[in-house]
Amino acid sequence: MLITYVLNGFLVAAAVLIHFEALNLLTKFIPTLTIKPRLRILFGVFGALFAHVVEIWAFAFGYFYMIHHDGFGSLQGHFDNSLMDCIYFSFVSYTSLGFGDIVAKGDIRFLAGLEALTGLVLISWTASFMFIEMQKLWKDK
């Protein structure tokens, strides 16, 4: 059980740090772009989306590791133990969409719950970031 806590903590910390660094880079890079303010906003949106996808993939690799090692539990339902299914489950968990076609059983459930919470916080952080960037850029019309 201790290794579950360590792995979960590592994945959450990695996602938060990836997001922090991505938003930090966007904050520095967006003002230097020599394009229209509207296009700078789009650059920020796509940059933030890219960061979210990287974070989702990090969680997916965590699921993939956990389902292929004993003691963590499993993912069941329309699931074939592939990396692609882990990525799909991670997208559904991160966004709190929760289709329910794949269900976590055992200790891996904690990672699914933590990923949903982390996704909620990081998506909210992105919304706040984009609001601030849009305020800055719309003044530059």
- What is residue 140's predicted lDDT score, i.e. its pLDDT? 53
Tens of pLDDT, residue by residue over 20-44, are 999 999 999 999 999 998 899 999 9
CB contact at 8 A, 33 and 43: yes
User: Which residues have C-beta within 8 Å of that of residue 105, sequence separation ≥ 6?
Assistant: 73, 74, 75, 76
Each domain of the chain, given as residue ranges in start order, spans 2-138
Dump the DSSP string for 57-85.
HHHHHHHHHHHTSTTS-EEEES--S-HHH
- What is residue 71's predicted lDDT score, i.e. its pLDDT? 92
- What is residue 139's predicted lDDT score, i.e. its pLDDT? 67
- Give the single-character DSSP code of 1: -
> What is the rounded distance in angstroms from the CA atom of residue 32 to the CA atom of residue 88?
35
CATH class of 2-138: mainly alpha
Parts of the chain with a pLDDT under 70? 139-141
User: Which residues have C-beta within 8 Å of that of residue 83, sequence separation ≥ 6?
Assistant: 60, 61, 64
Alpha helix segments (H runs only) across the chain: 2-29, 37-67, 83-94, 108-138
Entry pTM: 0.94
